[in-house]
Structure 1
Amino acid sequence: MRTREIRARYDRDSITVYQAYAPEIGVPAAKAGTFVPPFSRNRMTWIKPSFLWLMARSDWGRRPGQETILAVRISRTGWEEALGLAVPTDPDRRVFRSSEEWRRRFAEAVVHVQWDPERSLDGRKLETRSIQIGLSRHIVDRYVDDWVLGIDDLTPLVRRINGLRKAGRLPQARALLPTERLYPLTPALADRLAASQQPTSPPRA
């Protein structure tokens, strides 16, 4: 099985996830430090701790409707609450005893989890799988009102890195990437997410 890891930028209290929006949504969010209208709370929103995965998904902020790249700092308490509610988007037999059990739990889930190929700086798919979390409209209020600690607009940085990348200056581009490291999971969370074995989450000070 391909390695499934959560790699992220995090500290004791927070973790950074990335999202891409049209400027009319992303720019006001960055200015307010949280999501404000016209951001919709009535649809699923996907958050991703892998910067390079989002770069591949948004084509470095050049895909229509994804031109503004946001770094959203959320509480680790909220992140782990989401992980604890997450149900995989496929009927993984390490998590579910049957397809019927998966269908039932997936239909009731307020959080979805999906594993996608991690990406390299040049956009190649890697063997390691990276996590993305889908927050349904039933829990988006918690995300916006309780978990979000701050939002930064990374669009200028993304353009700079992409310019260096396209010019073949990969060491300079790589030096500007956000630092990500393996995120610790409890055995219970790793089992729930069908993640590869990872270090246990340390107690909070």
Structure 2
Amino acid sequence: MNLPTASYLAQAAIWPTEGEHILAHHDGDTIVVYQAYRPAIGHYAIRHGRLDGPDFSLNRMSWIKPNFLWMMYRSGWGTKPGQEVTLGLRLRRAFFDEILAKAVPSSHDTQRYADRTTWQQAVAESDVRLQWDPDHAPDGAPLPRRAVQLGLRGDTLARFAHEELLEVIDMSSFVDAQRPNPQSDPAALMTPLESIYVPERRG
């Protein structure tokens, strides 16, 4: 697996414990987000390095998660039907920052939108939804810290699935190996190396 990992307990000791934060694996040029798919979609992506196979729908919203443990909570550590294949998807930071800039909250944010009508118009016009949810510990317990997920559709989803996707990382064997550790041996749990992601300021 082409993704560095580190002890979960060591990482958790330095992560913020509350507030809204984008925890992600990133470097100077790229960021990794996670999705979990049924085998037909996941295995095609691994073989071809893109997501636009015959079983992947570009006509519905697809949610990406920069935080590995949020993905594990959502997929039941790769055990939920239709989420058996866990992928790390490497994107250019410039594209991810563009996604963030386009994002409209899934619920009405009174600080950004004066009224619901203005917010609903923004939702209709944007290709990207943003949702902050409780982050979760490896055993699934909710945490005070909140994690982001981003829903993509339309042209943004099409670009994500093909030309903006730099690398598809098959993480299923890693997920299988780590799945027992939250309950049986938390000190042995390894997770992808993640830190707070800060978008590049523009303009």
Q: TM-score, normalised by structure 2?
A: 0.86
CA-to-partner distance for each residue in 1:118-146, whole Å, 9 max, x for gaps?
Answer: 01111111111111010013321211233
Q: Distance in 2 between matches of 1:143 and 1:28?
A: 15
Q: Contact 2:52 / 2:162 at 8 angstroms: preserved in 1?
A: no
CA-to-partner distance for each residue in 1:29-55, whole Å, 9 max, x for gaps?
Answer: 012121141222222111100100010
Change (3 A) 1:14 1:131: same
Q: Structure 1 residue 183 and structure 2 residue 197: aligned?
A: yes
Q: Distance in 2 between matches of 1:59 and 1:183?
A: 25
Q: Structure 1 residue 170 and structure 2 residue 183: aligned?
A: no
Q: How does 1:17-28 map to 2 (within 5 A)?
A: 17-28=33-44
Identity between Structure 1 and Structure 2 (%): 36
Counterpart residue type for residue 69 of structure 1: T
Task: Name which of structure 1's ranges 12-21 and 91-100 shifts more when overlaid on structure 2.
Answer: 91-100
Match of 2:79 in 1: 62
Q: Contact 2:35 / 2:88 at 8 angstroms: preserved in 1?
A: yes
Q: Distance in 2 between matches of 1:135 and 1:125?
A: 25
Match of 1:197 in 2: none
Q: Distance in 2 between matches of 1:144 and 1:121?
A: 28
Q: Gaps spanning 5+ residues in structure 1: where? A: 186-200
SS of the residue 1:92 aligns to: coil
Q: Distance in 2 between matches of 1:131 and 1:70?
A: 17
Q: Give the drift of 1:98.
A: 1.4
CA-to-partner distance for each residue in 1:53-91, whole Å, 9 max, x for gaps?
Answer: 010100011100000000001111110111111100111
Task: Name which of structure 1's ranges 64-73 and 31-40 shifts more when overlaid on structure 2.
Answer: 31-40
Higher RCO (C-alpha 8 Å, min separation 6): 2
Q: Distance in 2 between matches of 1:99 and 1:36?
A: 35
Change (3 A) 1:60 1:103: same
Q: TM-score, normalised by structure 1?
A: 0.85
Q: How does 1:10-159 map to 2 (within 5 A)?
A: 10-37=26-53, 38-159=55-176
Q: What is the alpha-carbon root mean square deviation over aligned residues?
A: 1.5
Q: Gaps spanning 5+ residues in structure 2: where? A: 1-17
Deviating 4+ runs (over 3 angstroms): none
SS of the residue 1:18 aligns to: strand
Match of 1:190 in 2: none
CA-to-partner distance for each residue in 1:163-200, whole Å, 9 max, x for gaps?
Answer: 2233x211111xx2001101113xxxxxxxxxxxxxxx
Q: Give the drift of 1:202.
A: 7.2
